[in-house]
Amino acid sequence: MLGRTLREVSAALKQGQVTPTELCQRCLSLIKKTKFLNAYITVSEEVALKQAAESEKRYKKGHSLGDLDGIPVAVKDNFSTAGIETTCASNMLKGYVPPYNATVVQKLLDQGALLMGKTNLDEFAMGSGSTDGIFGPVKNPWSYSKQYREKRKQKSHGENEDSNWLITGGSSGGSAAAVSAFTCFAALGSDTGGSTRNPAAHCGVVGLKPSYGLVSRHGLIPLVNSMDVPGILTRCVDDAAIVLGILAGHDPKDSTTIQDPVKPFALPTLTDVSKLCIGIPKEYLTPELSSEVQSLWSKAANLFESEGAKVIEVSLPHTSYSIVCYHVLCTSEVASNMARFDGLEYGHRCDIDVSTEAMYAATRREGFNDVVRGRILSGNFFLLKENYENYFVKAQKVRRLIARDFVNVFNSGVDVLLTPTTLSEAIPHTEFIREDNRTRSAQDDLFTQAVNMAGLPAVSVPMALSSQGLPVGLQFIGRAFCDQQLLTVAKWFEKRVQFPVIQLQELMDDCSSIFENEKLASVSLK
């Protein structure tokens, strides 16, 4: 049951084949078994069971709230959840219990979803590995998959199997791992420079970044206000569309959400791609791109072409500057956003009482890790009077050029762009930490962050396993507010490539009873 799609489980719940409480308990038990992944910071067991009981009552009466009623979900720990600790994996907010729910969390709860817990991330969502939070790094479930282990056994024997575990990517690594390991059906992440798509690609799940302005950011602890977007992680594109349908829409509490009416949509099943034009940005073919990812990218392009789509090479000339531009804008906005953490109204507070400034400084030193402090200081540098024009305003101008590049490409008739999501498959943690956070972010965000600067929707879809048995995902980028079209194309692609299910055999042996029940009469989908 845990391996089914949202629609299938929802139908099963309606037909009484499984109850929300059973579903909840299975997920909770799996969360306990996969604790070593460190995907969850807080597991809200009591809350989830209570929600499950309420959902069950609704199903008994035949009044389910919708497709998400009774479905376990997880939320990244930088979304405010009323009554549940929200830490952003930082000492600054350790013990902080928000008095309100983020709008997207509220929308999920209003639909009856069961909140399993808050997932792990890089501190304040700064990073591309989910390794820099105070609760420790998140381990990629694929490190323990049969597919990966078999390939490793061929290479080396007798090595300690756990010492070389792989990163999930970041910063929404906890959410990606939670979905990948079947502990929930959907998870919320946040995407500022690729933080949802990057771990999605490394963990073999679908990672959707909606258009900026489509989904409310109210309650999402902000990193870069002009680029942040709540992200959605699921095991298939259809599920992501269902969740997007629920989360999208104007929010009076977030004035950067557009006012156009948004209705939940069912994704059409595309059969004819002959009218589709796929763009391949040539600047994305960089020397750092691994040959395996490159060949999968080619294969995908050929797939579309062979089925009748028009596949053309396009140019995004300012691509090479996008990382630098992002670096300046991100650190500048971070410097501003992190200024709210002074220890007075919430969060950590140090013991110094000499003066306000001394207290603020000590609180912030104790509360933030090096990465966050580094970004704040860099940001303050770029915002100094003497630097403002040359760095910050300059970066804003370059941002316009980058956004324009995309507009030009889409105006020339391209419907969707196809690019890699990451440079390679997930790497071992020991290798990842050889470079510092900023360097890694600069490297890993290459294909993903230009999208954030232009505010476009993008989705990472797992395509195939690498020669090491690890997932590789490809990214589709759509026109602003054409999320439905984007997901339609992604769904077509997903169906064609048939990405394999992760085989977590050792874990599943314990849960074998769950899978024996799979042989029940097939679920009928109305």
Partner 1 sequence: MWVRAVWLGLRASAGGRRGFSSKADPQGSRRVTAELIEHLERLALVDFGSQEAVARLEKAIAFADRLRAVDTDGVEPMESVLEDRCLYLRSDNVVEGNCAEELLQNSHRVVEEYFVAPPGNISWPKLDEKEPFSHR
Residues belonging to the active site: 76, 171, 195
Where does this chain touch partner 1 (CB under 8 A) — which range of 38-46, 166-174, 275-283, 361-369?
A: 361-369
CA angle 26, 28, 29 (to 5 degrees): 65
Q: Applying CB under 8 A, does 368 fall inside the site for partner 1?
A: yes
Cβ atoms of residues 133 and 175 within 8 Å? no
- How near is the Cβ of 69 to partner 1 at its closest, in Å? 27
Task: With contacts defined by CB under 8 A, name the span among 70-78, 136-144, 395-403, 416-424 that binds partner 1.
Answer: 395-403
* Residue with the two structure tokens 């996969």: 34
Taking CB under 8 A as the criterion, which residues in 468-507 touch partner 1?
480
Q: Which of 141, 347, 469, 471 binds partner 1 (CB under 8 A)?
A: 347
3-class secondary structure, 340: helix
Instruction: Between 84 and 311, name the residue whose CB sits nearer to partner 1.
Output: 84
Q: Write out the binding residues for partner 1, residues 171-210 only, by CB under 8 A.
A: none
- Taking the C-alpha atoms of residue 292 and residue 508, their distance in angstroms, rounded to an integer, is 30
| Residue 433 within binding range of partner 1, rule CB under 8 A | no
Interface residue with partner 1 among 398, 414, 474, 489 (CB under 8 A) is 398
- Give dist(CA 251, CA 216) in Å, integer: 6
Judged by CB under 8 A, the stretch of 179-187, 426-434, 453-461, 488-496 that binds partner 1 is 453-461
Q: Cis omega before residue 130 (within 30°)?
A: no
What's the rounded Cα separation, in Å, for the pair 175 and 165?
Answer: 18
Q: Is 135 in the site for partner 1 (CB under 8 A)?
A: no
Verify binding: residue 340, partner 1, rule CB under 8 A: no
Burial 18-43 (b: 16+ CB within 10 A, else e): bbbbbbbbbbbebbebbeebbbbbbb
Instruction: Name the minimum Å distance from CB 447 to partner 1.
Output: 18
> Which 94-113 residues touch partner 1, going by CB under 8 A?
96-97, 99
- Quick count: other Cβ atoms within 10 Å of Cβ 11? 17
Q: Does 279 bind partner 1 (CB under 8 A)?
A: no
Near partner 1 in 203-222, by CB under 8 A: 212-213
Nearer to partner 1 by Cβ, of 2 and 229: the residue is: 229
Query: Which of 399, 440, 479, 491 lies at the binding interface for partner 1 (CB under 8 A)?
Result: 399
Question: Rounded CA gap, 93 and 85, in Å?
Answer: 9
d(CA 141, CA 127): 19
Selected binder of partner 1 within 11, 285, 352, 482 (CB under 8 A): 352
Residue type, 472: V
User: Toward partner 1, which CB reaches closer, 368 or 447?
Assistant: 368
CB closer to partner 1, 105 vs 178: 105
Among 256, 290, 294, 408, binds partner 1 (CB under 8 A): 256
Instruction: Take residue 301 and report the two structure tokens written for it.
Output: 């392009």
Q: How far is CA 364 from CA 232, 357, 367, 372, 381, in A?
A: 31, 10, 5, 10, 18
What DSSP designation does 220 have?
A: B
355 binds partner 1 (CB under 8 A): yes
Rounded CA gap, 46 and 116, in Å? 9
Q: Give yes or no for residue 27 binding partner 1 (CB under 8 A).
A: no
**Is 358 one of the binding residues for partner 1 (CB under 8 A)?**
yes
> Which of the ranges 35-43, 241-249, 340-348, 496-504 carries the binding residues for partner 1, by CB under 8 A?
340-348
| 82/423 with CB nearer partner 1 | 82
- Whether residue 81 contacts residue 114, with contact meaning beta carbons closer than 8 Å, is answered with no
Alpha helices in 368-467 (DSSP H): 370-382, 385-387, 394-411, 429-432, 437-444, 449-454
Is residue 521 a contact residue for partner 1 (CB under 8 A)? no
**Helices within 156-263 (DSSP H only):** 173-180, 197-203, 237-247
When asked if residue 257 is in the footprint of partner 1 (CB under 8 A), the reply is: yes
By CB under 8 A, the residues from 291 to 330 that bind partner 1 are 318, 321, 324-325, 327-328
Residues 56/97, Cβ–Cβ less than 8 Å: no
Name which position in 378, 421, 466, 484 contacts partner 1 (CB under 8 A).
378
Closer Cβ to partner 1, 148 or 212, answer by number: 212
Three-state DSSP at 186 gives strand
Q: Does 65 help bind partner 1 (rule: CB under 8 A)?
A: no
